[in-house]
Amino acid sequence: MSRLYDYKPYGDEPQKGGGSGMLLPVLLLVIVLLLALILYKVATRSPDETPATLRRTTTERTTAGDGTGADGSGGLTSGEPTTTEDPNRIEILDDEPEPTRLGEFLQRWPADPAIETLHDSRALIDSLAGRPDGSTSLQGVTVILDPGHGGIDGGTVYPSSPPHTHVEKDIVLDLARRTRAYLEARGAEVVMTRDSDEWFSIYHRAAQAGQLILDRTRAALAGTPKTTTWLDDMDRYMAHIRSLNQDRGGGAIIGGAGTQRQARELYDLQRQYPEVIFISLHINSYTDPAVGGLQVYYLTNETYFNYEAVTVGGPDPNMKPVYQNYDGDARYNLAMAVVNTLSIDVPETKTVGGPEPLINDRGFVVLKCMGLNTVLVEVGYMTNPDDRARLADPAYLDRLAAALGRSVYQYYCQ
Ligand SMILES: [Zn+2]
């Protein structure tokens, strides 16, 4: 059973003031009172709580812990139920979390979508299958390339003490730019999470992928009667996450184990965009220099749940249910396409002394904090002398970039 939820606008419409001489003192008093209220709110908010302006009210729910204010959030949105039904609002179809074997310790969000269908790309996806390799083969596809690290964060480096001759952040940015050129030459749109020596947290990168889909949805709904209150909510949520992650701040999207309700809704919207994929590029390191080659990480529903389960030591009132609506098949296919094309086009990436190249057991943020199909690729080991020498060679990076680009073509078209 699905329940319908509605959103209530924040506060009231501004009052139209008259032109009396009392206006200025009254305005000043109001501003002082508002500031005092805001300061009180900030001072009494728990660290991982989303701002009260991001909270919602519901039409049906009255139990604690759901954002109605009964959980102590109180806040700028009152607990008054919304009584008017707007047929054009975006429907949120949240269900109650499903109990699991771990019971109160860890729950799952239902695998059903939390949000109505706002975007349908089935025709586009169908049209991609079988397209010949050429300048338009990836038209309609968007690839978000995520060169890891940047700025103050060099990633893995060699040698370990300066001056470093090999720096992960520089190599993966170079590789991403070459991959972009390959993909754009085949008609894909490419978005980079960074295109300079700039540091963004992993949560900031996930928020960029969230914002891209919110912007596309807003553009698609422009001129339709659909209300955009929910999108306004989500824009604020993304802005909040980006602002919390300007430095090495914490995990604002998930705020601990599990998935916040708003994040779940965002991921379910992203799930409606299979023509957008996210590829994170990194270089590995290990204590044993003999270990080398490719590692490709992906994440599916069951492995995400298991990953979170091992981190749960006992009851935690702040624990969120675990998101369970990733497209596991598509994520597997994307990861396999990367493994296949790289093993054929760049056989030097064959793993040496390490685990198999395809890995599905890590809860990396760029895998779990988005509903897009996403993969994290470690193209080699900085600690392995052969890998390191190859990764310093521009001709080798060109081959890697072409193979990564071809994996996208294989994923969509073959
Ligand atoms: Zn890295």
Q: For Cα atoms 67, 68, 69, give the angle at the middle one, nearest 5 degrees.
A: 90
| C-beta atoms surrounding 88 within 10 Å | 11
Which structure tokens are listed for 348?
A: 């030097």
Ligand 1 mean position to 153 CA, how many Å?
9
Q: What is the pLDDT of residue 35?
A: 67
Ligand 1 mean position to 75 CA, how many Å?
40
Q: What is the pLDDT of residue 47?
A: 36
Statement: residue 40 has pLDDT above 80:
no
Total domains, the chain: 1
Q: What is the pLDDT of residue 10?
A: 28
Q: Which amino acid is at 137?
A: S
pLDDT tens digit sequence for 108-141: 999 999 999 999 999 999 999 999 999 999 999 9
pLDDT tens digit sequence for 265-306: 999 999 999 999 999 999 999 999 999 999 999 999 999 998
Ligand 1 mean position to 295 CA, how many Å?
12
Mean pLDDT of 147-172: 96
Ligand 1 mean position to 148 CA, how many Å?
5
Q: Which amino acid is at 272?
A: Q
With respect to residue 222, please indicate whether it lies within any of the assigned structural domains.
yes
Question: Which residues line ion ligand 1, judged by CB < 5 Å?
Answer: 148, 155, 282
Ligand 1 mean position to 292 CA, how many Å?
15
With respect to residue 329, please indicate whether it lies within any of the assigned structural domains.
yes
State the CATH number of the domain containing residue 189.
3.40.630.40
Rg of the chain in Å (alpha carbons)? 24
pLDDT tens digit sequence for 296-340: 999 999 999 988 887 776 767 777 889 999 999 999 999 999 999
Ligand 1 mean position to 275 CA, how many Å?
26
Statement: residue 53 has pLDDT above 80:
no
pLDDT tens digit sequence for 202-231: 988 999 999 999 999 999 999 999 988 999
With respect to residue 80, please indicate whether it lies within any of the assigned structural domains.
no
Statement: residue 48 has pLDDT above 60:
no
Residue 323 CA, chain-centre distance (Å), reads 12
Whether 41 contacts 75, CB under 8 Å:
yes
What does pTM read for this prediction?
0.78
Ligand 1 mean position to 156 CA, how many Å?
6
Per-residue DSSP letters for 237-298?
Answer: HHHHHHHHTSSS---TTTSSSS--HHHHHHHHHHTT-TTEEEEEEEEE--SSTT-BS-EEE-
Ligand 1 mean position to 96 CA, how many Å?
37
Q: Among 23-27, 149-153, 164-168, 382-386, where is mean pLDDT lowest?
A: 23-27
Statement: residue 61 has pLDDT above 60:
no
Ligand 1 mean position to 87 CA, how many Å?
47
Query: Taking phi first (over 0 means left), then psi (-120 to 50 degrees means alpha), and beta for anything else, what does residue 61 get?
Result: beta
Q: What is the pLDDT of residue 79?
A: 34
Whether 380 contacts 387, CB under 8 Å:
yes
Question: What band does 26 get if pLDDT is binned at 50, 70 and 90?
Answer: low
Which structure tokens are listed for 6?
A: 């509605």
Please report, rounded to a whole number, the percentage of residues in the chain having pLDDT higher than 90.
60
Q: Among 125-129, 255-259, 261-265, where is mean pLDDT lowest?
A: 255-259
With respect to residue 208, please indicate whether it lies within any of the assigned structural domains.
yes
Ligand 1 mean position to 155 CA, how many Å?
5
Ligand 1 mean position to 349 CA, how many Å?
17
Whether 216 contacts 198, CB under 8 Å:
no
Mean pLDDT of 245-269: 75
Domain extent, residue 204, equals: 135-413
The residue whose two tokens read 């994170």 is 280
Q: What is the pLDDT of residue 144?
A: 98
Report cis status (omega within 30 of 0) of the bond before 347: no
With respect to residue 52, please indicate whether it lies within any of the assigned structural domains.
no
With respect to residue 312, please indicate whether it lies within any of the assigned structural domains.
yes
Ligand 1 mean position to 168 CA, how many Å?
7
Ligand 1 mean position to 50 CA, how many Å?
29
Whether 252 contacts 204, CB under 8 Å:
no
